[in-house]
Amino acid sequence: MTFLQKKKQYGILFLIALIALFFLMILSGTLGAADISFSESLRIMVSGVPWLRRFADAGSIRSSSRMILWNVRLPRVFLSALIGAGLSIVGATFQGMFRNPMADPYILGISSGASAGATAAIVLGWGGMVSGMGMTALFAFAGALLTTLLVYRIARVGNRLPTLGLILAGVAVGFFLSSLVNIMMFFHRDQMERIVMWTMGSLATATWGQVRILFPVVLLGSAVLFVFARDLNAMSTGEETAKSLGIEVEKVKKFLLALSSLIIACCVSTAGVIGFIGLIVPHSIRLALGSDQRVVIPFSAAFGAIFLVLCDTLARNLIPPSEIPVGVVTSLFGAPFFVYLLHRNKKKVM
């Protein structure tokens, strides 16, 4: 069965996934450390939507509860969904581009770059806020993009961008930047906890401002990446083959690299380094639904969002009031699930 013949089925399945995501997000909004009942949270959420306001009266509920729901919980739920989607889509794209089912969004050292940027900001004491965005976030963003540029420069050969060179350069630069981070941590032991906490990833201080930035980036970015799905399909069978099929391989690579880096830089600078999602979500989708990027990309986005919302909900509700860093939850819960999938598909393993 090919993509075309199954198009309708995929469409329905995707819709179901989106609906599931929606309900999961609502459910997540009702769970938290604060003492707000299920019905209260529902009423607050409904009354907050302009068209639905008349269906629920939230006037009797404490204003602090409403504050918590709208300013603390919901931005967090939305941010998780967006970041989960962003990371998964870039993972899917990289897996196709590098013809490596084990590629993840951080394969080009971008996470080390972001960490180095954030660490520099923390260590230099520039912890302030600039127009709503923390300096740490800005520095992390800059670090991520600069790393991509550096890796690109190192790997580039004339007009071409050899994929192997990219990966090797990414690994090398990644190691170097990690060492820089370690050195900075060593000489500022007192800041070590802060730096490590940042690196482990957290969505605790999610704001609507961040959601507003990430929403267009992830949505538009995903749409554009989806448009290149056919190109990626051809490229995953071999670069020379793809070229003989009429694809401007080098141009496409550069473009996809730039766009992916932008998406990842935004995600990582906002929430730290959340690992594992970008690897296992697309890979799992691939194991379940096949390698056609026109299927893998949208479903990775949907299930990536679902997965991270789930993990974040767990992260903040397992041992209240303490929070487990979400990056820890993704690995702890994602890994066994992934092993299970691999076990089921032993024949098809890579």
Partner 1 sequence: MRVRNQKKNADLVQYPVAVRGLSWRYGNRQVLSDITLSFEKGKLYSIIGPNGSGKTTLLRNIAKSLEPAAGSVFLNGTDIMDLSTRDVARKLSVVPQNTYIDFDFTVLDIVLMGRNPYISRLGSESREDMAAAEHAMRLTNTWDFRGKSINEVSGGERQRALVARALAQDTAVMLLDEPVSQLDLHHQIELMDMVLSLSQDRKRTILSVMHDLNLAARYSDFLILLNGGRVVVQGTPWQVLTRENIETVYHLDSCIVNNPVTGKPFLIYAKGI
Partner 2 sequence: MKRTTKANNSFITISILTAFLLMLTGLLAGCGQGSDKKGNNGAGGVKTAETKNSHGSAEGDADTQPEDKDESTVYPFTITDSFDRKVTLEKEPQKVVSISPAVTEIVFALGQQDKLVGRTDYCNYPEETAQIESIGNLMSPNIEKIVDMEPDVVIASAHFQREVLQKLEDAGLTVVILYGEESFEGAYEAIGKIGDLLNARAAASGIIDDMKTTVADVEKRVKGKEKPSVYYVVGFGELGDFTAGKDTFVGQMIEMAGGKNAADDVKGWNYSLEKLLEKNPDVLICSKADHQKEQLKTANGYQDLDAVKNGKILEMDKNKLEIQGPRLANGLKEIAKYIHPEAFK
Which of positions 236-265 make contact with partner 2 (CB under 8 A)?
none
- Based on the shown chain and the rule CB under 8 A, indicate whether residue 52 belongs to the binding site for partner 2: no
Q: Is the peptide bond before 321 cis (omega within 30 degrees of 0)?
A: yes
State how far the Cα of 154 lies from the Cα of 175, in Å rounded to an integer: 15
Which of positions 137-156 make contact with partner 2 (CB under 8 A)?
142-143, 146, 149-150, 153
Q: Do the Cβ atoms of 63 and 190 come closer than 8 Å?
A: no
Residue 20 or 192 with smaller CB distance to partner 2 = 192
Partner from partner 1, partner 2, none contacting 1, C-beta within 5 to 8 A by type: partner 1
State how far the Cα of 215 lies from the Cα of 83, in Å rounded to an integer: 9
Nearest-5° Cα angle at 242, 239 to 248: 90
Partner from partner 1, partner 2, none contacting 317, C-beta within 5 to 8 A by type: none
Least CB distance to partner 1 at residue 243 (A): 6
φ/ψ (deg, to 5) at 57: -110, 115
Torsion, Cα of 93, 94, 95, 97 (10° steps): 90
Partner from partner 2, partner 1, none contacting 334, C-beta within 5 to 8 A by type: none
Q: Do the Cβ atoms of 114 and 177 come closer than 8 Å?
A: no
State how far the Cα of 197 lies from the Cα of 340, in Å rounded to an integer: 30
- Based on the shown chain and the rule CB under 8 A, indicate whether residue 80 belongs to the binding site for partner 2: no
Would you call 119 exposed, middle or buried from its count of C-beta atoms within 10 A (0-12, 13-18, 19+)? buried
Residue 18 or 31 with smaller CB distance to partner 2 = 31
Least CB distance to partner 1 at residue 163 (A): 13
Which of these segments, 10-18, 40-48, 53-61, 111-119, binds partner 2 (CB under 8 A)? 111-119
| Chain residues in the site for partner 1 (CB under 8 A) | 1-4, 96, 99-101, 227-228, 230-231, 233-234, 236-238, 240-241, 243-248, 286, 290-292, 348, 350
Nearest to 117 by CA among 184, 30, 167: 184
State how far the Cα of 339 lies from the Cα of 172, in Å rounded to an integer: 29
Number of residues that bind partner 2 (CB under 8 A): 53
- Based on the shown chain and the rule CB under 8 A, indicate whether residue 189 belongs to the binding site for partner 2: yes
Per CB under 8 A, residues contacting partner 2 are 32-36, 62, 64-65, 67-68, 71-73, 116-117, 119-120, 122-125, 127-129, 132, 134, 136, 142-143, 146, 149-150, 153, 180, 183-184, 187-191, 193-194, 197, 202, 204-205, 207, 316, 320-323
